[in-house]
Amino acid sequence: MASSEEQSTINELQANWVWVPDWVDSSTANTAGRIVNFTRDFSLPSAPEKALLYFSADTRYKLFVNGVRVAVGPARGHGTIWYYDTLDISSHLKHGDNQITFVVLRYFAASRAAMPFVRTSFPGLTVVGEAKAGQSQVSLSSREGWRAQVDDSILFPTGLIDDVFLHINERTAQTAPSPWISPKLYGFKTLNGELAPWRLRSRTIPRPEETSVAVNTIRSCDSSNSVDDWKAVLSHGQPLTLSSDSKHVLELQADVHSTAFISWSFRADNSSSVQIKTTYSEGYECDPRSYPFFRTKDDRLQKDDHHLIGPFDEISLDIGPGKMVKYEPFWFRTFRVIRLEITVGAGPVEFLSFDAKQTNYPIQPKAAWKEPGDAHSESIWDVSIRTLRNCMFDGYSDCPFYEQLQYSGDSRSVGLFHYLLSGDDRLMRQAITNFAASVTPEGLTQSRFPSHVPQIIAGFSLYWVLQVCDHHLFFGDTPYTRSFLPRIDGVFEFFHSHIDSLGLVSGLPEDVWQYVDWVTTWGATEDHPDKGVPTSGRKTNRHTYFSLLYAYVLKQAAQLVRDVGRPGYAQEYESRAEAVVEAVRAHCYDGAFFTDSTIDARDDSAYSEHCQVFAVLSGAAQPHDQTRILTQSYANPRFSKCSYVMKFYALRAFALAGDDAYESLWTTVWDPWRQMLANNLTTWEEDDVRQRSDCHAWGSVPIYEYCTELAGIRPIAAGASKIMFKPRLHLSNSIVANVAIGKANVANISWTADDDGKKHVRLKLQRAVEVVSKLPGGEEQEHGTVDQLELDF
């Protein structure tokens, strides 16, 4: 609930929503949205002591103060949770004349384009605040003193083959400037419980951080200027004169995969122009199998006989005599390599700079990893962090290059990686809360949210339940957790209502995507156009995976409701789980393995690693048989293979099956990650089936395994008030690691091996908590509440 002070701010913001009059929320041009600039000019008698602004916009804004970009937002929300920002801009103001500009990109409400950018049926900008300089106070609220201009020169085209989701790539159009006009106040009435289009909340996550990115390695240069000349401007900002009527084509490489705001600046002594086409790619690649969704990639930096393919911006800039022109696309770009094509007009032009500013959620890692005996583990750790970082801006993004959509199935594991790395739950709290607000009438959460285009994936509501369970385990916020129990129960009721006469989950609605994983053999067919769905259950609409996942999550939720003081639910959840498990054993187990559907529907394609994994996790596989089921299915090529996202759950199953099972997998499980390093990736690819994207945070699973399995630190009681310390000493001779445990604790773990093979193990905690330890082959030992342990093995 908002405090009285915050509610007062919200009321002011609701009273200050403005937009341009006579707006048409569409365009005859091919564009997903339009830009409107809002500007406030004012003068101050001295530098201000304070200039606190509150602001928001629909759909997205960029705030410039005296020409400097100082904020981008708002954070992703939706009509019932729309975030506003708070910023003191006094450090950017000065004595004398000042100018504030909001560049607002309005994506059209009636278009299904630009999916990550949710918008209401009303465009808008609201600003509240004032600048204080001595005895002078200048109101900066948007209801008065502002001017606005529609900018139709920038287009965000739709229908492009390689921009299906985002629609952020820009084209410029030759249009006459629109006149500056006064914005119109909406004046929404919100009495008697009637809501404004935006139900405002203050921003709950920190603003993105920015750091400079070097994009100065020249892979090819077709230009009348020398490579050295180009290096001078790219590396040192030394201006480069481009002759009139010339064309220049360069391919530039960043040091690492980047998500960055980019900009170019030019100057001309006499009137001229430049046309710039910038193509963005995550690396060089072979001929694609089916562009853009099925690709073939090997060494990402191998240019010979490979292609630089990707979406592009194409803009034209007119440069007046003696003027400097800077252009920054509205949204950040994702890239490792860039093709820059510059065509100069009738007069020579100075190329002043090409800048890139990495932008992402401020992760601020507390965790660290050193393992001297492993040639790859520290590189794997670093790349895992970079991948996580590049998939975090104002939410957990599935891939920054193509979608920037937040999926509950993806973000469940990614949130755990983030917890262990930083002990920061703010982004996940936002995600959990937003998913809870997406509940459909049948009780499911939307699979990706916030999203302008709704989507439901059958199992993803269950992964949202796991997010709630994880959060309470790590942070122990019981009131927050209890607020979601009715919706958790609603998710379970949906699956319970689809239990058939065999006791299995089946008959899911046609408009619910029964996606499980990206598997080569689970492609679309004429009869079943949805991808990623096990083939053997398609005709019967009965997939073993959903029964197993449902049973697994019921058991996790049973522990959750006990922990939050609602034990009455626990027995019901456990009895439901047990009934489903028994049905799976009766109808989906052939005596050796679990089938993807019922036994009577099985064929050669009816076996997957996924069902063996979730049979172990749910308890359908008997404890004495778990190791055999997992190891034999993983060794058998006829079993559909888990991709990177499901590797996380596979590793959980192997760990549950026993130490021998888990540790036997360790030597080979990281082979795909080592191969990605060999192929010069600096972030982890989405999967090795489609190879669509080279950055997806579900591939950062090494963070979890290194912290919780190898270093052996894992919370086992709500709020990380009790931890298990179970280092896997057989897997490494020496490590030094830090692991975040909840919000305010960090564990330091280290061990080294003596010449005789004995290992001295040390655990040191910033804050004392209950600790249970278990060394290889030993029994669990209770140590009580301690802040350090020293053990010998």
- pLDDT single digits (tens) 590-604: 999 999 999 999 988
pTM exceeding the 0.85 threshold for the entire prediction: yes
Looking at the structure of the chain, the number of domains it has is: 5
Specify whether 390 is located in the same domain as 481.
yes
Helices 626-635 and 659-669 meet at what angle, rounded to 10?
20
Is 304 domain-assigned? yes
Structure confidence by residue, pLDDT tens digits, 538-567: 989 999 999 999 999 999 999 999 999 999
The CATH code of the domain that includes 139 is 2.60.120.260
Specify whether 183 is located in the same domain as 54.
yes
Specify whether 219 is located in the same domain as 321.
yes
Q: Average of pLDDT values for 53-81?
A: 98
Question: How high is the mean pLDDT of the chain?
Answer: 97
β-pair partners for 35: 105, 151
The whole-number pLDDT of residue 539 equals 87
Specify whether 147 is located in the same domain as 19.
yes
Point out the domain boundary residue: 360, 382, 401. Answer: 360
Point out the domain boundary residue: 360, 376, 404. Answer: 360
Specify whether 173 is located in the same domain as 228.
no
Is 505 domain-assigned? no
Point out the domain boundary residue: 641, 666, 691. Answer: 666
Structure confidence by residue, pLDDT tens digits, 714-741: 999 999 999 999 999 999 999 999 999 9
Specify whether 643 is located in the same domain as 764.
no
Specify whether 543 is located in the same domain as 450.
no
Is 91 domain-assigned? yes
Task: Decide if 688 contacts 744 (C-beta within 8 A).
Answer: no
Specify whether 291 is located in the same domain as 394.
no
Specify whether 658 is located in the same domain as 686.
no
Structure confidence by residue, pLDDT tens digits, 627-643: 999 999 999 999 999 99
Q: Average of pLDDT values for 495-506?
A: 98
Specify whether 282 is located in the same domain as 372.
no
Please give the structure tokens belonging to residue 241: 């004169």
Chain centre to alpha carbon of residue 378 = 23
Q: Which residues contact 162 (CB under 8 A, 6 or more apart)?
A: 291, 292, 309, 310, 311
Longest dimension (CA), the chain: 85
DSSP codes, 556-584? HHHHHHHHTT-THHHHHHHHHHHHHHHHH
- The answer, yes or no, to whether residue 461 has pLDDT greater than 90, is yes
Structure confidence by residue, pLDDT tens digits, 98-128: 999 999 999 999 999 999 999 999 999 999 9
Q: Measuring CA to CA, how many Å separate 525 from each of 266, 539, 608?
A: 51, 12, 19
Q: Average of pLDDT values for 464-493?
A: 98
Is 379 domain-assigned? yes
Secondary structure of 153-191 as H, E, C letters? CEECCCCCCCCCCCCCCCEECCCCCCCCECCEECCCCCC
Task: Decide if 266 contacts 342 (C-beta within 8 A).
Answer: no
Structural domain boundaries, residue 583: 518-588+597-666
Is 723 domain-assigned? no
At 174, the pLDDT band (50, 70, 90 cuts) reads confident
Specify whether 331 is located in the same domain as 398.
no
